[in-house]
């Protein structure tokens, strides 16, 4: 018994004719089609209008402050050999200082966002822009 495409009936019901299957690819065509890269069309992506840059777009710590934090870290790390306990204590203080700086930065950015929509009667478009900025800020907080 051979297994030819025309001998197979499992896909057919008694009411269907060969014409009903004319648009189906043969097994040979399916193999050829499988060798071709499949390019799927993606749904169009809605692009939001460009929003002006906000303070949420910049670095979390200003460059001069970052340089200061790094140099303080180097001093702490070098001091470990002479006094490990003191070095760890200073590292704790440095991390606390950095967290306070980050917290202040995020508080300022949050207040900037709030001011953009809470004064007066913003339009729906203004509120849409505010929500987009909140989303970006929220995502930034989650990726820390």
State the chain's maximal CA–CA distance in angstroms: 91
- Same domain? For 61 and 105 the reply is yes
- Same domain? For 25 and 59 the reply is no
Mean pLDDT of all residues in 6-22: 54
Pair of tokens at residue 43:
């749904």
Give the span between the Cα atoms of 2 and 132, in whole angstroms: 63
The tally of domains found in the chain comes to 2
- Same domain? For 69 and 123 the reply is yes
- Is residue 26 within 8 Å of residue 5, measured between CB atoms? yes
For the chain, give the mean pLDDT.
77
Q: Which residue has the higher pLDDT, 64 or 58?
A: 64
pLDDT of residue 134: 93
Of all residues in the chain, the percent with pLDDT exceeding 90 is 46
pLDDT of residue 60: 84
Q: Which residue has the higher pLDDT, 29 or 76?
A: 76
pLDDT of residue 24: 56
- Is residue 140 within 8 Å of residue 55, measured between CB atoms? no
Residue 42 maps to a domain: no
- Same domain? For 90 and 133 the reply is yes
Give the span between the Cα atoms of 127 and 122, in whole angstroms: 6
Q: Which residue has the higher pLDDT, 118 or 17?
A: 118
- Same domain? For 97 and 138 the reply is yes
Within the chain, residue ranges assigned H as helices are 27-35, 63-79, 84-118, 124-142
- Same domain? For 85 and 133 the reply is yes
- Same domain? For 65 and 126 the reply is yes
Q: What is the dihedral of CA 27, 31, 32, 34, to 10 degrees?
A: 130
- Same domain? For 12 and 75 the reply is no
- Same domain? For 121 and 71 the reply is yes
Residue 82 has pLDDT above 50, yes or no: yes
Most confident of the ranges 25-34, 40-49, 59-68, 69-78: 69-78
Residue 116 maps to a domain: yes
CA separation (Å) from 82 to 76, 85, 86, 141?
Answer: 10, 9, 9, 38
Residue 61 has pLDDT above 60, yes or no: yes
- Same domain? For 93 and 127 the reply is yes
Residue 41 maps to a domain: no
Residue 94 has pLDDT above 90, yes or no: yes
Domain that holds residue 71: 55-142
Residue 49 maps to a domain: no
- Same domain? For 91 and 132 the reply is yes
């Amino acid at each position: 018994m051979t297994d030819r495409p025309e001998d197979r009936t499992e896909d057919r019901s008694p009411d269907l004719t060969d014409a009903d299957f004319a648009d189906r690819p043969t097994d040979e065509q399916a193999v050829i089609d499988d060798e071709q890269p499949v390019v799927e069309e993606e749904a169009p992506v809605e692009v939001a209008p460009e929003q002006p840059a906000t303070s949420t777009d910049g670095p979390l710590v200003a460059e001069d402050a970052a340089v200061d934090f790094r140099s303080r870290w180097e001093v702490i790390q070098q001091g470990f050999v002479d006094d490990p306990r003191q070095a760890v204590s200073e590292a704790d203080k440095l991390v606390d200082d950095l967290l306070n700086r980050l917290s202040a930065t995020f508080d300022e950015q949050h207040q900037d966002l709030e001011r953009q929509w809470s004064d007066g009667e913003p339009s729906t478009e203004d509120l849409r822009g505010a929500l987009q900025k909140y989303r970006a800020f929220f995502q930034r907080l989650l990726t820390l």
